[in-house]
Structure 1
Amino acid sequence: MAPEKVQLSEEKATLLATLYGRALDARSRRPILGDDLAVEAVKKIDFDFRRTGMSPALGAAVALRDRFIDRWAAEYLATHPDATVLHLGCGLDTRFHRLAPPPTVRWYDVDYPDVIELRGRLFPERPGHRMIASSVTDLTWLEQVPDDVPALVVAEGLLYYLGPDDGRALLRAVVDRFPGGQFVFDAVNWLGIRLQKLNRPVRKAGATLRWGIDGPGELVAIHPRLRCVSAVSAFDMGGFDRLSAPHRISTWIAGALPGVKRSAMFYRLEF
């Protein structure tokens, strides 16, 4: 089979960086995530992944972030085995394959049409797994999803690329549609927005971070049914002993600065 040629720009191009990061981790001597599907996908894509700016150290950080969100998602599905999962801005993530949810779970991967087309060639759908080709901010895609059970909404590496109004409208629309559920996502605050040029993969892709979230209060104000059950700094997600010594030291120094520590967060919201 001929390699898949890829032409993506701005925030869509960052999915190539995170895919490559997971592949670098899987090929390392001590994998954190061990995402072998990412390795196979990289082999199938005709692209010079060195252009992403992703390094083994950054790949380890991507794997740690994925593993942290995987754990929260798995916890929810363990107590809600009949939930609907909305994997928003799924890119080329293999989360469905990593978590292997029970057949009672309905899983929807949602992303732009060109991303879903590429994804479909790399990761064919499985029973209980469907892809929706749409911008997540075109809220008509929600009409394709049954609203009869609680929803787990995973939005890793997504919300900060949305405009604040679009992001809030997305959260409100999901809460209004489902009888209950949980959001799991990562976010940056105003400082993270200001420091985005230091993020090499984002800079290389020509992407722009737009929505800075300055704490749980800003999130729960979006809808009266929302409440924050977890707010964890990315510097507290654990696993840094798996990083190289220079990366461990720089992470420890950054995490010791209160302002910087709050610049990247993981949130778990219930509704």
Structure 2
Amino acid sequence: MAGEKVNLTGAKETLLLTLYGKALESRLPNSLLRDYFADEAVRNIDYDFSRLKVDNNLGVGLAIRAKTLDVCVQDFLARNPDAIVLHLGCGLDTRIFRIDPPAGVDWFDVDYPEVIDLRRKLYPVRDHYHLIASSVTEPGWLNKVPRDRPAIVVAEGLTPYLGAEEGQQLFSRLVGHLSSGELVFDAYSRLGLKIIRLNSSFRATGAEVHWSIENPHELERAVPKLRFVEDIPAYKPEHAARMRWFAKLFVRLWKYIPALRKIGRLLRYRF
């Protein structure tokens, strides 16, 4: 097998899981995401993706989450064509290439140095695109981000790996630095984290998840500048048609059972 060798473990290795899931979904004839950059990246990485045991349901679920976040970013940029996009824990996600933002937008992808190094090898450079090699929980990297323009902060598959206090401190620094904008990320209830821990693909990485959010208003109390706007369901009924029968049943059930609706969802805040 030729390609870029990858040696990631724990939470960092989960970026390969999400990349592979999006690539597999993009190979489907009825692909929602059409993430051909992800598919190409998978082909250029020297790694045994089969060990992650990513199935159709997981690939479709990851694509739905990514597409929903893409739409949030696109809507914000339509209202703020001179904005900045701050993509926390970007991993190998190709959101900037899927969205292809206008020239007035500055885009910042932030992740560990070894992840950013891999991104440089796999993806092309482009104008107004900035890579920041740092853990998102280190405070110093924010000095590289303009503070006088509207910003949308997006985090996909990041917050569960943080501790609650760690995540709240991160969001406090962000809203203290940025003048105005929106924050959107995926969040999970305690039950949701238990289900994640049982997932065979997740378990293959050895990662651990910590931060659960039961009530979106919890974060308003911890970070007073944040104002909760909406929670977006992880799945909609039309999405279930692309999944296997047991996943279809699960999606139908969670429409009627509040505890299931909170398992995983996207939360959007304004600041």
Q: What TM-score range do you get, normalising by the shorter chain?
A: over 0.9
Is 2:23–2:42's contact at 8 Å kept on the other side of the alignment?
Answer: yes
Q: Shift of the alpha carbon at 1:254?
A: 4.4
Between 1:250-259 and 1:200-209, the stretch displaced more is 250-259
SS, match of residue 241 in structure 2:
helix
The number of equivalent residue pairs is: 271
The one-letter amino acid of 2:11's match is: E
* CA offsets 1:189-225 (integer angstroms, 9 cap, x no match): 1222233322222211111111011111111112222
Q: Shift of the alpha carbon at 1:238?
A: 5.0
Structure 2 residue 89 is the aligned partner of structure 1 residue 92 = no
Is 2:236–2:251's contact at 8 Å kept on the other side of the alignment?
Answer: no
Q: Shift of the alpha carbon at 1:252?
A: 2.1
Per the alignment, residue 102 of structure 1 pairs with 102
Q: Shift of the alpha carbon at 1:82?
A: 0.7
* CA offsets 1:216-265 (integer angstroms, 9 cap, x no match): 11111122221111112324485222223342123323444321221212
* CA offsets 1:165-202 (integer angstroms, 9 cap, x no match): 11001100010011101001100012222333222222
Between the aligned partners of 1:269 and 1:200, the Cα distance in structure 2 is 32
RMSD (CA atoms): 1.6
Per the alignment, residue 56 of structure 1 pairs with 56
Between the aligned partners of 1:140 and 1:183, the Cα distance in structure 2 is 20
Between the aligned partners of 2:40 and 2:195, the Cα distance in structure 1 is 33
Between the aligned partners of 1:237 and 1:220, the Cα distance in structure 2 is 30
Is 1:113–1:134's contact at 8 Å kept on the other side of the alignment?
Answer: yes
Q: Which runs of 5+ in 1 are unaligned?
A: none
Between the aligned partners of 1:90 and 1:41, the Cα distance in structure 2 is 14
- Would the alpha carbon gap of residues 170 and 87 (structure 1) be closer, same or farther in structure 2, given more than 3 Å must change? same
The one-letter amino acid of 1:208's match is: E
Per the alignment, residue 242 of structure 2 pairs with 242
The one-letter amino acid of 2:150's match is: P
Q: TM-score, normalised by structure 1?
A: 0.95
* CA offsets 1:77-111 (integer angstroms, 9 cap, x no match): 11011111110000000000001111100100000
Between 1:135-144 and 1:28-37, the stretch displaced more is 28-37
The one-letter amino acid of 2:232's match is: V
Runs of 4+ aligned structure 1 residues displaced above 4 Å come to: none
Between the aligned partners of 2:3 and 2:164, the Cα distance in structure 1 is 37
Q: Shift of the alpha carbon at 1:2?
A: 4.6
* CA offsets 1:109-142 (integer angstroms, 9 cap, x no match): 0000111111110013210101000000001110
Between the aligned partners of 1:254 and 1:191, the Cα distance in structure 2 is 13
Q: Shift of the alpha carbon at 1:150?
A: 1.4
The one-letter amino acid of 2:154's match is: V
Between the aligned partners of 2:86 and 2:186, the Cα distance in structure 1 is 15
Percent of aligned pairs with the same residue?
Answer: 43
Per the alignment, residue 190 of structure 1 pairs with 190
Per the alignment, residue 3 of structure 2 pairs with 3
The one-letter amino acid of 1:147's match is: R
Per the alignment, residue 43 of structure 2 pairs with 43
SS, match of residue 34 in structure 1:
coil
SS, match of residue 101 in structure 2:
coil
Between 1:261-270 and 1:248-257, the stretch displaced more is 248-257
Between the aligned partners of 2:73 and 2:216, the Cα distance in structure 1 is 19
